[in-house]
């Protein structure tokens, strides 16, 4: 059957589902770095680590750099409190908004890096210090920044950096106002995370003031605060990974039989990280261009409306025109759904059935009540009987039905009773007959039992627990590092270790002896892996090629007289020219003409 001919590309049935649903859901996370700027925060320590203020700026810079790669639509803000001068929309004293809630950019990163100098970009002169600030006003300022943001925000968070465990020692009113404002922020979904720093020889006592500011879980005691170094290490770590939010790819009804439906959601547990797509910019203003496509008739050059564009198929020498509505009706089979067809033994699932990445099925209690209980009963029975459910799967409208197998997975917890893997079904896409190919294998030499046993020992020695997050894509990582060099005007990119390359030293330390033993019983003596194969020596047979001859043994003058100089190699011609003190440069035809002229022909 020939392809449908049309003037524009139609809907791709194999379109990536994740890209389809990602365009429908767009929520942005917002983070504000609230940094106290008292004099002790800017005092340099004796070591090379700098001041506490330097550490806070480094954390903000690292988060900005990570957000550009992981989720460039999220919003970041930086606010100083405890300054002598102030700058904010509500005119709060001693609060300076350095960067408002905006998307991360190279200019904002460079601005933060300017404060990592010896004098912190003239902080004393530009901002100064004051102990008359109010924590309540600082939290109020952050709350207003969230509320005044015109974009739709999801998770809102304030990271509070300070080394003063009791900022309002002599002002009970300020303490009461701060606690009230913190409770108000918590009630509207704004999370406050304390990033406390310790002064030399002192401990940060959160019970003095901040136990009523931060909202810790009920089972966490305030006097046993975790060391903030772990939090700072997490913020300072440069991780160039794309952030993929866990959103449902679709919600369907799983039909178990006549009149028995339960609601389920589909998720993607793994996602391939790709380089960002290129964007067209206007060269004068550097603004992003929007593409607009208009189709014209070839005969009249008039613009075509969508209703004027038809699709057709050539059959019997005629163009059979099909309307767009008719084509969509032909492509529509079922409504988006999952229909149970039966059960098969789990052993019937073969490895070669895998031709597409799997999805994950989880119950959705919001649409049909009791779905979780019915889903759990189905999961437990499939695990107990060691079977998989065979279903017909239609992911969305105008999609062809797919045959899938629901592979049950039991919940797994670690020693701290924390979930490692969730309970549910993996959606395994089953291939149709045209997805399977028959391969022909040539006869090869079979290994003997000793070689097989030695190979098993070698493989067992080199086994390790694999996880995709332990290995970064070197191509993508190199791309981000080079892009960062251009954006931030750096001299050279950060060093990157390619973990996909084999660690030869570690391999030799673990299995060096086994590798040598394996080589001895498998490969012949003198075999060198990767070396070019040796050429067979040619004898003096009639079919052998002409052996190389020394240029001194060639009668060049006679060959010039016979007109056979073109049969000589360039090396022979240059050797002759060098012996006769002629110029040896040029191509072969130039050398031939030069030798002819010398020989008088």
Looking at residue 25, its pLDDT comes to 47
Class of domain 337-435: mainly beta
- 64, two tokens: 């900005």
> From CA 511, how far away is CA 457, in angstroms rounded?
9
Fold observed for domain 551-599 = 1.10.720
Domain 449-522 of CATH type 3.30.1360.120: no
Structure tokens at 558: 């006679």
- CB-based burial label for 493 (10 Å; 0-12, 13-18, 19+): middle
Please report the pLDDT score of residue 375 as a whole number. 92
Distance from C-alpha of 528 to C-alpha of 296, rounded to nearest angstrom: 64
Identify the pLDDT of residue 297.
86
Residue with tokens 């340099």: 44
Residues of the chain with pLDDT under 70: 1-27, 46-49, 201, 215-246, 529-553
Sequence-separated (6 or more) residues with CB below 8 Å from residue 573: 565, 588, 591, 592, 595
CA 507 to chain centroid: 28
Interatomic CA distance for residues 98 and 201, integer angstroms: 31
**pLDDT at residue 540, rounded to an integer:** 47
Contact between 193 and 158 (Cβ < 8 Å): yes
Q: Do 28-236 and 449-522 come out as alike in CATH topology? A: no
Query: Which of 362, 272, 241, 265 lies closest to 19 in space, CA to CA?
Result: 272
Angle at alpha carbon of residue 536, lines to 535 and 539, rounded to 5°:
135
- The structure's pTM equals 0.59
pLDDT at 22: 46
The per-residue pLDDT for 231 is 65
What pLDDT is stored for residue 13 in this prediction?
Answer: 43
Which residues are the active-site residues? 24
Can you name the CATH fold of 28-236?
Rossmann fold (3.40.50)
User: Domain spans of the chain?
Assistant: 28-236, 337-435, 449-522, 551-599
């Amino acid at each position: 059957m020939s392809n449908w001919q049309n003037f524009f590309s139609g809907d791709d049935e194999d379109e990536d589902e994740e890209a389809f649903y990602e365009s429908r859901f767009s929520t942005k996370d917002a983070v504000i770095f609230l940094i106290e700027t008292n004099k002790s925060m800017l005092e340099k320590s004796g070591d090379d680590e700098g001041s506490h203020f330097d550490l806070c700026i480094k954390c903000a810079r690292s988060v900005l750099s990570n957000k550009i790669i992981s989720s460039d639509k999220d919003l970041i803000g930086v606010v100083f409190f405890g300054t002598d001068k102030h700058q904010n929309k509500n005119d709060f004293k001693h609060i300076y908004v350095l960067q408002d809630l905006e998307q991360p950019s190279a200019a904002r990163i460079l601005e933060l890096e300017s404060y990592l100098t010896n004098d912190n970009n003239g902080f004393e002169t530009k901002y100064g210090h004051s102990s008359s600030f109010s924590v309540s006003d600082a939290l109020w300022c952050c709350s207003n920044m969230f509320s005044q943001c015109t974009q739709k925000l999801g998770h809102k968070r304030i990271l509070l950096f300070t080394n003063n465990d009791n900022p309002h020692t002599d002002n009970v009113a300020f303490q009461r106002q701060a606690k009230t404002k913190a409770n108000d922020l918590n009630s509207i979904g704004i999370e406050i995370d304390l990033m406390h720093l310790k002064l030399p020889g002192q401990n940060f006592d959160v019970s003095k003031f901040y136990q009523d500011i931060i909202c810790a879980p009920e089972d966490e005691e305030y006097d046993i605060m975790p060391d903030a170094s772990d939090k700072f290490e997490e913020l300072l770590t440069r991780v160039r990974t794309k952030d993929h939010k866990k959103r449902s790819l679709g919600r369907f009804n799983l039909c178990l039989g006549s009149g028995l439906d339960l609601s389920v959601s589909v998720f993607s547990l793994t996602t391939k990280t790709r380089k960002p797509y290129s964007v067209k910019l206007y060269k004068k203003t550097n603004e992003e261009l929007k593409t607009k496509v208009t189709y014209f008739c070839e005969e009249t050059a008039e613009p075509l409306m969508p209703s004027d564009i038809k699709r057709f198929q050539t059959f019997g020498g005629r163009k059979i025109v099909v309307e767009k509505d008719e084509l969509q009706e032909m492509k529509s089979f079922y409504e988006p759904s999952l229909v149970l067809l039966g059960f098969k033994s789990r052993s019937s699932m073969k490895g070669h059935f895998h031709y597409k990445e799997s999805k994950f099925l989880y119950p959705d209690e919001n649409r049909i009540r009791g779905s979780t209980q019915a889903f759990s009963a189905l999961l437990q029975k499939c695990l107990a009987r060691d079977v998989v459910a065979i279903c017909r799967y239609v992911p969305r409208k105008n999609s062809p039905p797919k045959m899938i197998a629901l592979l049950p997975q039991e919940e797994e917890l670690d020693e701290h009773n924390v979930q490692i893997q969730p309970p549910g079904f993996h959606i395994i896409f089953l291939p149709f007959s045209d997805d399977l190919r028959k391969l022909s294998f040539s006869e090869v030499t079979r290994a003997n039992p000793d070689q097989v046993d030695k190979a098993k020992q070698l493989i067992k020695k080199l086994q390790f627990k694999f996880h995709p997050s332990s290995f970064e894509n070197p191509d993508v990582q190199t791309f981000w590092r080079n892009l960062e060099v251009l954006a931030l005007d750096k001299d050279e990119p950060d060093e990157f270790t390619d973990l996909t390359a084999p660690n030869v030293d570690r391999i030799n330390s673990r299995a060096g002896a086994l590798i040598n033993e394996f080589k001895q019983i498998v490969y012949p003596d003198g075999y060198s892996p990767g070396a070019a194969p040796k050429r067979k020596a040619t004898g003096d047979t009639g079919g052998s090629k002409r052996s190389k001859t020394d240029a001194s043994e060639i009668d060049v003058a006679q060959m010039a007289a016979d007109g056979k100089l073109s049969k000589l190699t360039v090396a022979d011609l240059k050797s002759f020219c060098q012996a006769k003190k002629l110029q040896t440069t040029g191509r072969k035809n130039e050398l031939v003409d030069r030798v002819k002229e010398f020989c008088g022909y």
